[in-house]
Amino acid sequence: MADRDDTKDAGSSDSQTQGAGGVGKVAPIRAKRPCPECGRQSARDTYPFCSTRCKNLDLNRWLSGAYAIPVREAEGQPADEEPPQDDG
């Protein structure tokens, strides 16, 4: 019986995180924020979106090319070539 009492004391730190009814409260990993598609509250499973639908809408925009990262090349020089060097 003494062994059982020792295990209770070791687990006493868990009682500090438990609320009423023995259910523990866990701090959210990420703060909730508005869905970038529709503005509703984000869901944990589909963060930062509120639903799978909004998540898929955003993915479709990326795959169809509606979103693009602008590329700026130097004037007159392609990005792969090095500029000519002076020998003098």
What mean pLDDT value characterizes the chain? Answer: 74
What are the sequence ranges of the domains in the chain?
Answer: 30-65
CA distance 36 to 40: 8
CA distance 57 to 61: 6
pLDDT at 20: 55
Predicted TM-score of the model (pTM): 0.48
Instruction: Give residue for tokens 């000519």.
Output: 84
61 Cβ contact list (under 8 Å, min separation 6): 67
∠29-12-22 over CA atoms, to 5°?
60
**ω into 48 cis (within 30 of 0):** yes
81 compared with 65, residue with greater pLDDT: 65
Please answer whether residues 48 and 42 qualify as being in contact, where contact means their C-beta atoms are separated by less than 8 angstroms: yes
56 compared with 68, residue with greater pLDDT: 56
Residue 79 has pLDDT above 90, yes or no: no
At 13, the pLDDT band (50, 70, 90 cuts) reads: very low
